Amino acid sequence: MPAHAQGRCGHPEGVAAHDGDTASYDRIRDVWGPRTPHARGTAWPERVDVHLESGLSEGDVERWVPSACVLCSNGCGCDIAVKDGRMVGVRGRADDAVNRGRLGPKGLYGSTPWASSTDRLTRPLVREGGRLVETDWDTALGRVVATSRRLLEEQGPLSHGFYTSGQLFLEEYYLQAVIGKAGLGTPHMDGNTRLCTATAAAALKESFGADGQPACHDDVEHCDALFLYGHNTAETQTVLWARILDRTRGADAPRLVCVDPRRTAVAEEARRTGGVHLAPRVGTNVALVNALTRELLEHGWVDGDYVGAHTVGYDDLAATVAAYPPEEAERICGVPADDVRRAARIFGESEAVLSTVLQGFYQSHQATAASVAVNNLHLLRGMIGRPGAGILQMNGQPTAQNNRECGADGDLTGFRNWDNPAHVRELAEQWNVDPMTIPHWAPPTHAMQIFAHAETGSIGLLWISATNPAVSMPESARIRRILGGDQCFVVVQDLFRTETAELADVVLPAAGWGEKTGTFTNADRTVHLSEQAVEPPGEARSDLQILLAYADAMGFTDRDGAPLVRWRTPEEVFDAWRESTCGRPVDYTGLSYDLLRRRSGVRWPVNDRHPEGSDRLYADAVFPTDTDVCETFGHDLVTGGTVTELEHRARAPGGRAFLKAAPYLPPHEEPSEDFPLRYTTGRTVHQFHTRTKTGRARRLDEAAPDAWVELSAADAEARDVHDGDWVRVDSPRGAIEVRARIGPVLEGAVFAPFHYGRWDPTDLAADAGHRQANELTMTVWDPVSKQPTFKTAACQVTRVRGRDRGGS
């Protein structure tokens, strides 16, 4: 087995996948790029991917500005190419632990074109006579401040709600958290992270006491089995998938087990490596994972010493999963019992299992219970904290982790416990405010509840930053009604006039990636510094500057009457954040802009004990579950009822992890006579979120220009639907009309990509108003993580007309 050199260039497998004007290498077609296979335990070879605007070569680039990619949750280190004050391309950083030089198609083709798009917001807008008209900053911000002051006076801080993103920088979330929690004192703060990563956080908290990823991407190099639960890595994290392929195509390859109702590229690779593809009926994940767990117990694939010393809850777990022999899983999930046995055997007999979890679990029925079960499997085998053996509860967005860390979402800053008065006091001391100012009488309000309060008008000011809920939230018609109504004043801060901005009362033009400086952290705790490369267009300002201007105008003060917000630069905010993490699991105390400029990507915790950062958590099997340390006392996985401090103390976890399980419950909406099919939404490789950036990149837009639904050959035949035909999809809440694709989705299931709203870059899509996947989804959420369920609803498909002439 050859060991591969790690030089910057010139090693045998090094491949430069350059894509200039000649389009010499098409990463639209070859999504994962050339293979650099290597053997288990050896370093992942470098491969530097570059893309520059047509006609430019690397020699034309004036400056390369260090950053990391924000077009999926992977967080690949890259340099931004600048020429004539414009961002003209990107190049992967070979020295970065996350990607070793690689970039995916979204990163390559989508990172920069949006920035010089002619429809960028360059001036603030205010609503006049029902229409949005351009104005200056004083006028726009003046209206926000006047409304804010009036509501504070009349109704107090609970009249304010903030709905942020998974795409801002750490400094912006931290400032947002300070303004909301210490300035205003409102519990109504959440991010669209609720839609994509809330369950990752919830599952980690329930099992280990606090958020924080146990494993890191390097574990791909060391595992001998890789389990992917509802994680279509091949499309959602293409560089991580390239990393996995470099193992499965190399010597001593790991076996893959894929849990997905669609026969994805991941599923194909699972079969190819001698692993298993488990395709459960949508909404039945818990029955499947309970059966896998039971198999481990039945066959004694359990590290008894580890379980005895480092966990609590084994007996309850065993009692719950006892009811799920493989045949029961087959009955509920439609997965052959022998496949369940084979998958469990792979988990039970491998020496280093790496598991990854994403939306197929997080956005589905019983999300937290299913994701916690993955943690259980690893705890039972003691497979946490060593190379190759670990868990990656993934994120959906590049900076989602920071929203959770800083507490601009439904968390308390620094992974603190809102139910622990000592934790609240720590924050109050740092911010020098009365602890009573910081809302902690109940969990911070989750997104769906914030919108429900906005619906009744009891939240009278809703401020939305860098996200597009009019397309991305469930039951779109209801969301449009809430945002468009008079009961709530809506502020939207974005790069473009999104579907959401169109419904706002004030629209603030924001600077985007490369137009501002800040840090962000990916799902494996890797922190990057993203430096400003160019000036924002027109009067656009960074989200940090906008929030600072609001804080200044509101005049928030601490308990001594001094300004609450005294920082001016991103670095000053970062340093304040760093202080607030002292003594918490999310320890940034050893991190600085200086260190991040010297090293491309550093994994927290970084402190005196770990000055270079930490690849893995819990190598010592000591978990942050102590009652005085933990981020949560936990929940009933079935009802969401909170565990009290007293109950938590009585279990004396003292650093041991929790084994928790729940019985399977049928989904909230089962197929019926009128709606006989199961509707599930998801992603496609060439688009990100609601396409605000990727839709403005020509090559990505051309690769995936319009919505569709995928149905099985049998369901298509039964409805006389042929590939490319136009179909109508109805659920009890709405309908869409899109083209049909006959594909490898399970019989009885219908898959729709969620990216497509009314907006279209060409304005040519005749169906633009009728293609939004969330018109059909339900307003319902997981009892613990409060993540909405996008993967289970009932629907019907009807043929409308034949395919367009000339094909689609």
Q: Which of 87, 158, 189, 296 binds another protein (CB under 8 A)?
A: 158
Q: Please report whether residue 187 would count as binding another protein according to CB under 8 A.
A: yes
Contact 333, 666 (CB under 8 A): no
Cα(590)–Cα(611) distance, integer angstroms: 6
Q: Which is nearer to another protein, 282 or 721 (CB)?
A: 282
The token pair that represents 497 in the structure block = 């006039």
Q: Which of 139, 432, 639, 672 binds another protein (CB under 8 A)?
A: 639
Q: Please report whether residue 649 would count as binding another protein according to CB under 8 A.
A: no
Q: Please report whether residue 318 would count as binding another protein according to CB under 8 A.
A: no
Most distant CA atoms of the chain, gap in Å: 73
CA angle, 622 then 628 then 630, to 5°: 55
Q: Minimum CB separation from another protein for residue 645, in Å?
A: 13
Ramachandran bin of 460, using left for φ above 0, alpha for ψ from -120 to 50, beta for the remaining angles: alpha
Q: Which of 441, 598, 620, 805 binds another protein (CB under 8 A)?
A: 441
* DSSP per position, 120-146: ---S-EEEETTEEEE--HHHHHHHHHH
Cα(510)–Cα(531) distance, integer angstroms: 16
Q: Please report whether residue 638 would count as binding another protein according to CB under 8 A.
A: yes
Q: Return the range that interacts with another protein (CB under 8 A); candidates 69-77, 152-160, 585-593, 690-698.
A: 152-160
Cα(408)–Cα(663) distance, integer angstroms: 33
Q: Minimum CB separation from another protein for residue 639, in Å?
A: 4
The pattern of x and - marking residues 721 through 760 that bind another protein according to CB under 8 A reads ----------------------------------------
Q: Which of 47, 102, 453, 733 binds another protein (CB under 8 A)?
A: 453
The 3-state secondary structure of 168-199 reads: CCHHHHHHHHHHHHHHHCCCCEEECHHHHCHH
Number of other residues whose CB lies within 10 A of the CB of residue 54: 12
The DSSP H or E segment spanning 353 is: strand 353-357
Q: Return the range that interacts with another protein (CB under 8 A); candidates 135-143, 324-332, 607-615, 637-645.
A: 637-645
Q: Which is nearer to another protein, 511 or 637 (CB)?
A: 637
Cα(555)–Cα(146) distance, integer angstroms: 13
- Judged by CB under 8 A, how many residues of this single chain contact another protein? 32
Q: Minimum CB separation from another protein for residue 363, in Å?
A: 15
Q: Minimum CB separation from another protein for residue 641, in Å?
A: 3
Contact 245, 221 (CB under 8 A): no
The token pair that represents 594 in the structure block = 């200086």
What 3-state DSSP class applies to 543?
helix
| Residue closest to 720 by CA, chosen among 747, 742, 698 | 742
Q: Which of 665, 765, 768, 800 binds another protein (CB under 8 A)?
A: 665
Q: Per CB under 8 A, which of residues 198..257 are in contact with another protein?
A: none
C-alpha distance from residue 90 to each of 111, 218, 405 (Å): 7, 23, 28
Q: Please report whether residue 592 would count as binding another protein according to CB under 8 A.
A: no
Q: Please report whether residue 479 would count as binding another protein according to CB under 8 A.
A: no
Q: Minimum CB separation from another protein for residue 158, in Å?
A: 5
* DSSP per position, 62-103: -EEEEEE--SSSS--EEEEEEETTEEEEEEE-TT-TTTTT--
Q: Minimum CB separation from another protein for residue 380, in Å?
A: 24
The pattern of x and - marking residues 410 through 439 that bind another protein according to CB under 8 A reads -----------------------------x
What 3-state DSSP class applies to 26?
coil
Give the type of residue at 132: L
Name the pairing type of β-strands 657-658 and 131-134. unpaired
Q: Please report whether residue 641 would count as binding another protein according to CB under 8 A.
A: yes
Q: Which is nearer to another protein, 28 or 452 (CB)?
A: 452
The pattern of x and - marking residues 60 through 89 that bind another protein according to CB under 8 A reads ------------------------------
Q: Minimum CB separation from another protein for residue 657, in Å?
A: 22
Contact 515, 533 (CB under 8 A): yes
Q: Minimum CB separation from another protein for residue 488, in Å?
A: 12
Q: Return the range that interacts with another protein (CB under 8 A); candidates 103-111, 405-413, 443-451, 753-761.
A: 443-451
Q: Please report whether residue 155 would count as binding another protein according to CB under 8 A.
A: yes
What 3-state DSSP class applies to 392?
strand
Q: Which of 9, 309, 436, 442 binds another protein (CB under 8 A)?
A: 442
Q: Please report whether residue 768 would count as binding another protein according to CB under 8 A.
A: no
Q: Minimum CB separation from another protein for residue 671, in Å?
A: 18
Q: Please report whether residue 779 would count as binding another protein according to CB under 8 A.
A: yes
Question: Using omega within 30 degrees of 0 as the cis cutoff, is the peptide bond preceding 605 cis?
Answer: yes
Ramachandran bin of 496, using left for φ above 0, alpha for ψ from -120 to 50, beta for the remaining angles: beta
Radius of gyration of the chain (CA): 25
Q: Minimum CB separation from another protein for residue 274, in Å?
A: 41
Contact 218, 247 (CB under 8 A): no
Q: Please report whether residue 648 would count as binding another protein according to CB under 8 A.
A: no
Q: Minimum CB separation from another protein for residue 480, in Å?
A: 17
Q: Minimum CB separation from another protein for residue 637, in Å?
A: 11
Q: Which of 122, 456, 762, 798 binds another protein (CB under 8 A)?
A: 456
Give the type of residue at 622: V
Residues that bind another protein (CB under 8 A): 155-156, 158-159, 187, 439, 441-443, 445, 448-449, 452-453, 456-459, 636, 638-643, 665, 668, 778-781, 783
